[in-house]
A and B are shown apart, each in its own frame.
Chain A
């Protein structure tokens, strides 16, 4: 056994219930399952190659989205403009 396959253990190469598993993994990543989500993830990722890949890809995309797409800087004058308009409303 080479190093790579030893590291990945004895994972299944296909997932019998891709639809259910991926849906579950995605909602865990979205913070929707809190109960025993860590156990579910540990078990699935240890045993199933497609689940492992899907989980890590989804996780990577979420991380990159969060770091690359939230940097839009708010124009400095916006807050002052809003406060000015609110004063007019009062």
Chain B
């Protein structure tokens, strides 16, 4: 959130922004919160806190800019600052570890899994959702922002406070981890992969 307050909105303007620019994103916000916390009550609290902060700091939102990205950034920061501390479930990968090991922009694109398109398309149950949920939170987050919510790399860089190159490499690693998971599901479903051959 910017410290600089560009202008003060009137109460009427505040209500308009809140109703027309913030509230329409509630489903995306809840989906994001739920996939971060895996708990309905925690997700509700996180979304509610985010909207209250958004209202409180509404003067630092510049009308005409991307409200959804602004809200996602507040939610992500609230999750890291408030929620993660009291989380019952410790993060599988420490943020610092991720920064150290996974932020290299030099990504090996040749690592691919022999996962077939038809196997992916046949995953009609919870496989994809479970695979996504199994990823460490930083990897899960980039996939949610990019593939579920359609943010651009530039928007993701702002939401996550990381350089675009890091967004790109983290996303690629996240997708590789997801594919590893999906491949093991595909093997269980009886699809042949290279590992069997």
Count of residues in B whose CB is under 8 Å from the partner chain: 48
Nearest Cβ distance between residue A1 and chain B, in whole angstroms?
Answer: 23
Cβ contact within 8 Å between B34 and A72: yes
Q: B146 touching A18 by the CB < 8 A rule? A: no
A74 at the interface (CB under 8 A from B): yes
- Residues in B with CB closer than 8 Å to A53 are 117
Interface SS, A side: helix
Query: Which one, A18, A54, A56, A72, contacts B31 given CB within 8 A?
Result: A72
Q: Are B128 and A65 in contact (CB under 8 A)?
A: yes
Q: A35 on the interface (CB 8 Å rule)?
A: no
- What band does the interface of chain A fall in when counting residues whose beta carbon is under 8 Å from B? 35 or more
Q: A89 to B52, Cβ gap below 8 A? A: yes
Tell me the A13-69 residues at the B interface (CB within 8 Å).
Answer: 18-23, 26-27, 30-32, 50, 53-54, 56-58, 60-62, 64-66, 68-69
**6 contacts across the A-B interface (CB closer than 8 A):** A18-B110, A27-B153, A30-B171, A65-B147, A69-B128, A78-B44
Report B's interface with A, CB cutoff 8 A.
Answer: 11, 18, 23, 26-28, 30-31, 34-35, 40, 44, 47-48, 51-52, 55-56, 107-110, 112, 115-117, 120-121, 123, 126, 128-129, 132, 143-144, 146-148, 150, 152-153, 168, 171-172, 175, 178-179, 182
